[in-house]
Structure 1
């Protein structure tokens, strides 16, 4: 121990000299960055009488861990989330290996975000927009994605072997996942995506985009593949010099599983956060999100962003009632904390109303009402 203490000054000098005069390239040095978040949530739902009597509920939302690493030109990006058991427990949101061919081109392999529609989010609020609940916003699947971005032009091409595959073989896909995918007796597989974006203006504040998606749906009962496809166009206005931002998107999708004879279903099961529900097998969605940011110079509060996000879901199935979603709210930024305060209104919406299983399928014909959930999500990000 005494000898170690005598050698300590020499060791420190060597480390400092190495830090000042590195002999290796930056790519040869391993780099690691850790981060994460802790969130709590308060909500009050108009259709829950017991909750109204209690004055709402306040509890645990999630703990998440983010890891970014790089060594010899190979990068890693991963995010693990742990919710309560009622919302699926712990699972990966994303995790991929990345190689940069140049400053403009990269390849991602693993659980990465599907290049479809407005990214990263087609919304400003904590609830996302209606596109999320049918698997077309911030969706992550298992595959390979190539991104080429020159500033004015961006295009992405991807192949996904499957969605988040946590249960292999002929077993039903687990709904314990972050983003919504087809579950139940069907499994997503062999999906292709292509997205192109054109940015306009001197500051590239205007973005026009087109997205295409096509893939297969493997039915566990018939052991045959059906098909699925989707397309979207979008416009986004996000200037650095203005407090205003705008997101507009229109999309359509069709799903045609190979069900057993006699099972003439007009819906598929989709799942996330530990539970499945039914979704119409064809439809269109139209979304609009408007936001305004107020910069604030104070010790505690640095900014407030107010927003209104609307989504309309037109189900192309006879007898199915359509869905509406509107979220009016504000995001408060206080140092490392992000506080979303939302009044979320739903009409035939599984998360914003009493009907869970069929809200995104046939709905509740003849008995549908608007419902509201007041929600405050407090997150500390590190």
Structure 2
């Protein structure tokens, strides 16, 4: 954050505004795309991001806007809420806030994130109200989300223009309750978080005007030590949509819609090593990591797997992720649009990816 501005007329309690953001570019080379291989890969614009934080007395606000190419969803709000800080350290947020489910803020260290993101269970942001209690040993969050990040529209042609993965198509997520409980163990050289998360809500079918339901439950663990980071999560989910076929729901993100099996179990683990960086040069951080996720689908459908190996290098304001992402039956990794529902085994495919961002 570079910009700090004070607004108002009161000398002691002026509103404070902090602004920052990033400009990111991306290179990728896909094993399943013959045209891209013939070109030697593809390099292009990823996203321009603007973040704004506002604070005045106990009231605060946060906005994270993303500007992408139209074929990736165009302009979208990732996160945006108004909040209040209580004297005991608790806070409340109203608006488009992160859903308190699983390891937060992310269940991965990579730029590409894990399979949970493609299924709507990582880095999810919905419209509602969230209360967060922050204790010495115990943290808990309770939230009610009226719906996902909608633009006051049920038009299926625009409802997948979003940053978070959510149910789209004929159905939409409404009236969702979330709860999370964390137990914290803080040692001199390591911090542990052991948690459980629960989610229950409704699925409204706008075509036949009927209400279904959905639920998800997870246990999760995170370790933040001197040079080591570790994330683990096991979860189960269940969608019960109304309509002709209750075996799948359509989900969408970044202007991309695909079917997902309506129930299953997902297991994931991620390990990170912070390479020691000495001196006061421009090189600030080198992180090595590997992540794996496994999706066991209902109805005996072929499992989905994903593995990411990479390095994150921070040179001053420039942050670079260099990764090889391998996937089996994954919609983002050569498995086809139906990879999360189709029973066909499409085998393993891979993507070499470099994301370069300048943060200000």
Q: TM-score range by the shorter chain?
A: over 0.9
Corresponding residue for residue 362 of structure 1? 342
Choose from 93, 97, 104 the match for 2:78.
93
Q: How does 1:296-315 map to 2 (within 5 A)?
A: 296-297=277-278, 299-315=281-297
Alignment of 1:261-340 (within 5 A): 263-297=244-278, 299-318=281-300, 320-340=301-321
Aligned residue runs from structure 1 range 347-358, under 5 A: 347-355=328-336, 357-358=337-338
Q: Is the 8 A contact 2:58 2:86 kept in 1?
A: no
CA distance in 2 between counterparts of 1:275 and 1:153 reads 38
Alpha-carbon distance in structure 2 between the residues aligned to 1:151 and 1:379: 36
* Alignment-derived partner of residue 167 in structure 2: 182
Contact 2:169 2:251 in 1 (8 A): yes
Indicate the residue corresponding to 2:356 in structure 1: 378
- What number of residue pairs does the alignment pair up? 350
Residues 239-278 of structure 1: matches in 2 within 5 Å? 239=225, 242-259=226-243, 263-278=244-259
Which consecutive unaligned segments of at least 5 residues does structure 2 have? 1-5
Deviates more, 1:135-144 or 1:216-225: 216-225
Q: CA deviation at 1:50?
A: 1.1
Equivalent residue of 1:302, what SS? Answer: strand
1:71 shift after superposition = 2.3
What CA deviation, in whole Å up to 9, does each residue of 1:345-374 have, x standing for no partner? 00001111151x201111534xx2100000
What residue is the counterpart of 2:3 in the other structure?
none
Using the TM superposition, give the Cα deviation of residue 78 of structure 1 relative to its aligned residue in structure 2, in angstroms: 0.4
- Aligned in 2, Cα 1:144/1:80: closer, same or farther, shift over 3 Å? same
The answer to whether the Cα contact below 8 Å between 2:311 and 2:322 also exists between their aligned partners in 1 is yes
Matched residues in 1 for 2:42 and 2:252: separation? 24
Distance 2:308 2:136 in 1: 32
State the shift of 1:151 in Å: 3.0
Give 1:148 deviation, angstroms: 0.5
More helix by share: 1
Asked whether the 8 Å contact 1:295–1:302 carries over to 2, the reply is no
Residue 112 (structure 2) aligns with: 127
Report the counterpart of residue 327 of structure 2 in structure 1.
346
Q: How does 1:206-245 map to 2 (within 5 A)?
A: 206-239=192-225, 242-245=226-229
Say whether the 8 Å CA contact 1:195–1:211 is kept in structure 2: yes
Q: Compute the RMSD of aligned alpha carbons.
A: 1.6
Render the CA deviation track for 1:256-303: whole Å, top value 9, x for unaligned. Answer: 0111xxx13410000010110000000110000001001323523122
Normalised TM-score (structure 1): 0.89
The C-alpha deviation readout for 1:114-170, integer Å capped at 9, x for no partner, is 0000000000101101111110000000000000101321000000000001133x5
Q: Deviations over 1:233-260 (max 9, x none)?
A: 0111112xx201111100000000111x
Map residues 16-35 of structure 1 onto 2, 5 A cutoff: 24-25=11-12, 28-35=13-20
Partner Cα distance (1:95, 1:326) in 2 = 31
The TM-score, its normalising length taken from structure 2, stands at 0.94
Of 138, 148, 152, which residue of structure 2 is paired with 1:153? Answer: 138
Query: Are the aligned partners of 1:348 and 1:363 in contact in 2 as well (CA < 8 Å)?
Result: no
Deviates more, 1:228-237 or 1:195-204: 195-204
Q: Which one has the largest radius of gyration?
A: 1
Unaligned runs of 5+ in 1: 1-18
| Match runs of 1:154-169 below 5 Å | 154-168=139-153
Residues 185-244 of structure 1 show CA distances to partners (whole Å, capped at 9, x for unaligned) of: 0010000000000012434611100000000000012211100000000111112xx201
